[in-house]
Structure 1
Amino acid sequence: MTDLRPPPPATGDDPAEPAGATPRSYDADHMPAAATPRAQDSTGPRALHPAWIVAGVGFVALLGAAAFRSVPSVLIDPLHAEFGWSHATISAAVSLNMLLYGLISPFAAVPPTVLLCRELFGAHGPIAFGWVFAAHQVGAAIAATGAGVIRDVQGSYDLAWYLAGALCGVAALMSMLVRRPQVPAS
């Protein structure tokens, strides 16, 4: 394995290398690219950084969430036929939903969740947040599918609402078990 630390500064013993200068044996400006420490990094020059994986999962999750939030615009005619609501009423409700979601979402969940991940996982907080975000999206997809299956089987969403309420209660109880690390007073 190659030692990636820079060499110690010259001692001045060699008349060609004045004291404090970088030794000629480590002159990155005149070394071939394959010999520089960056090219010899243990992850390899073509390795995919884990942050890109988290970003990709986040992108796919956001794409799915945006698609799910756009479903009412596709279902305007079926909603009109089923409930008798006018197209203007349905469009106004969807527009209000999007407006409130856009105004509130940046402040509602992301900053506190990022803060908790940073407190609990330290430098690995952003990666933990990516997993929390992905788990949230997967859970939302499972819940939406489950609610649709319940509606198809029972003809009502009642059981889905009761289960959602029970899961919220369980989540509230579980959140009380989270302990913040004790920071010594300075």
Structure 2
Amino acid sequence: MLAKMMRLRFHYGWVIAALIFLTMLLAAGMRSTPSVLIVPLQREFGWSNAAISLSISINLVIYGLSGPFTAALMQRLGIGRVIMGALLLVAVACTLTTFIHDVWQLDLLWGLLLGMATGALATILGAIVAERWFVKNRGLVMGILSASNATGQLVFLPLLASLAVSSGWRAAAWGTAIAALILLPLVFLFFRDRPRDIGLRPYGAPEEKGATQEEPQSKINPFAATFSALFQGMRSRDFWLLAGSFFVCGATTNGLIGTHLIPAEMDHGMSEVLAASMLALIGIFDLIGTTASGWLSDRVDSRWLLCWYYGLRGLSLIFLPYALNSANLALLVFIVFYGLDWVATVPPTVRLASDIFGKENVGILFGWISAAHQLGAATAAGLAGLSRTLLGSYQTIFISCGLLCLLAAGMVIRIGRVARPTQEQPQTQIAAQS
């Protein structure tokens, strides 16, 4: 079957991109399960918003920290094996979740296991695949894959919420486990780690850069490679600026809106399914905005793209408390405006990391930058739950995160200049070499 597909006129890299798009789409939907189940778990077990938010915070921290180690494992074991192992772990964690009866079990299954598994199927996976399989249209592919990661999380929310309401929250957990098991054979049959595995060059690579000239598979200990890259990256001011701005990105997306917009809407009288549908609508606009951002990152200075994205996101979050207290039209304006910006920051951030640190290093280094993203998400998820418990509303945390975005807009402009994306530049060797 694979040989027949190889004879088709389009490059097999697009098949890989489509498969990774589906994988990241479904994985993001799997990771979104906790945000839908906050209210049902409160009702059944009497747990507080803050207690459940702690489990989600653990999930986000592990989700982020697993990124650089996952990238190193992919270099050592191969991408396909890591993907299949992560999908199997998702199925196990979601199945066991249906038997919980204490909050520490939620911390273990949602926080630790699901965080590890979905962290292997997140943005870092898209970054590595885009760098390995594409030279031409790399930014566009990264934009599409980034959009799938966020859009999947949001598009699946209405389905999960409907299952939770109609059949109980355990049905949503079972559905997530089944989806992971369905995806496993597709990855086994069609995924290939590198173009050279099937005798191809990366899409758009010049003739002289054949598949046999790609970097060899790493033989170094994954943990050593991970920390070696981190220590080298920490010496660079640009690494800290990228990581700091991505911390803000995580705080104002997954941590704040992805976790708490549904409860905030329900505080203002909206039903759970309608609230989830409104959040899913953000995902539709995100698909447009992030894909466009990937296209722009091939053509425009990524620092200025990030400056605009963070600035506009900050203004939208400051506007959100007003939108929640107003007619639905105002909330719809927020959803459209914010949705276009949801993870539009990812393609230019990956582009900057690749141009500064080298494409052979971008997997592990971007993994650490993504860890900062998820640390920000975990911080915001926990603080927002605490704010809601203590103050009775989300208004303070929404405005605070809006101001944080404006700070990030100033940070990204200070990132050192890099060559235009269309030019090939010598790369700094910072990761452990095989």
Of 285, 291, 295, 1:100 maps to 285
Which residue number corresponds to residue 196 of structure 2? Answer: none
SS of the equivalent of 2:361 reads helix
CA, structure 1 residues 97+65, in 2 after alignment: closer, same or farther (shift >3 Å)? Answer: closer
Query: Are the aligned partners of 1:150 and 1:160 in contact in 2 as well (CA < 8 Å)?
Result: yes
Of 48, 70, 74, 1:52 maps to 74
Which residue number corresponds to residue 111 of structure 1? Answer: 347
Matched, 1:120 2:356: yes
Mapped partners of 1:86, 1:49: distance in 2: 40
Matches within 5 A, 1:158-177: 158-177=395-414
Which residue number corresponds to residue 150 of structure 1? Answer: 387
Q: 1:12-53 deviations in whole A, cap 9, x for unaligned?
A: xxxxxxxxxxxxxxxxxxxxxxxxxxxxxxxxxxxx971528
The structural deviation recorded for 1:182 is 7.1
Query: Are the aligned partners of 2:352 and 2:418 in contact in 1 as well (CA < 8 Å)?
Result: no
Q: Which amino acid aligns with 2:72?
A: P
Structure with higher helix content = 2
Mapped partners of 2:274, 2:71: distance in 1: 47
Q: 1:61-81 deviations in whole A, cap 9, x for unaligned?
A: 749978974667539869697
Query: Are the aligned partners of 1:147 and 1:157 in contact in 2 as well (CA < 8 Å)?
Result: yes
SS of the equivalent of 1:180 reads coil
Which residue number corresponds to residue 85 of structure 1? Answer: 270
Q: Which amino acid aligns with 2:287?
A: G
The percent of aligned pairs where both chains have the same amino acid is 30
Mapped partners of 2:117, 2:373: distance in 1: 11
The structural deviation recorded for 1:149 is 0.6
Q: State the TM-score, normalized to the length of structure 1.
A: 0.53
CA RMSD of aligned residues (A): 4.2
Mapped partners of 2:379, 2:401: distance in 1: 12
The structural deviation recorded for 1:160 is 0.8
Matched, 1:135 2:157: no
Higher relative contact order (CA 8 A, sep 6+): 2
Query: Are the aligned partners of 2:388 and 2:394 in contact in 1 as well (CA < 8 Å)?
Result: yes
The structural deviation recorded for 1:109 is 2.8
CA, structure 1 residues 84+182, in 2 after alignment: closer, same or farther (shift >3 Å)? Answer: closer
Task: From the CA coordinates, give the structure whose radius of gyration is larger.
Answer: 1
CA, structure 1 residues 84+174, in 2 after alignment: closer, same or farther (shift >3 Å)? Answer: closer
CA, structure 1 residues 142+174, in 2 after alignment: closer, same or farther (shift >3 Å)? Answer: same
Which residue number corresponds to residue 179 of structure 1? Answer: 416
| Structure 2 gap segments, 5+ residues each | 1-69, 87-115, 124-148, 166-261, 295-343, 421-434
SS of the equivalent of 2:270 reads coil
Q: Which amino acid aligns with 1:131?
A: W
| Structure 1 gap segments, 5+ residues each | 1-47
Q: 1:139-178 deviations in whole A, cap 9, x for unaligned?
A: 1122122111111111122221232123212212221221
Which residue number corresponds to residue 22 of structure 1? Answer: none
CA, structure 1 residues 103+155, in 2 after alignment: closer, same or farther (shift >3 Å)? Answer: same
Q: State the TM-score, normalized to the length of structure 2.
A: 0.26
CA, structure 1 residues 153+65, in 2 after alignment: closer, same or farther (shift >3 Å)? Answer: farther
Query: Are the aligned partners of 2:266 and 2:275 in contact in 1 as well (CA < 8 Å)?
Result: no
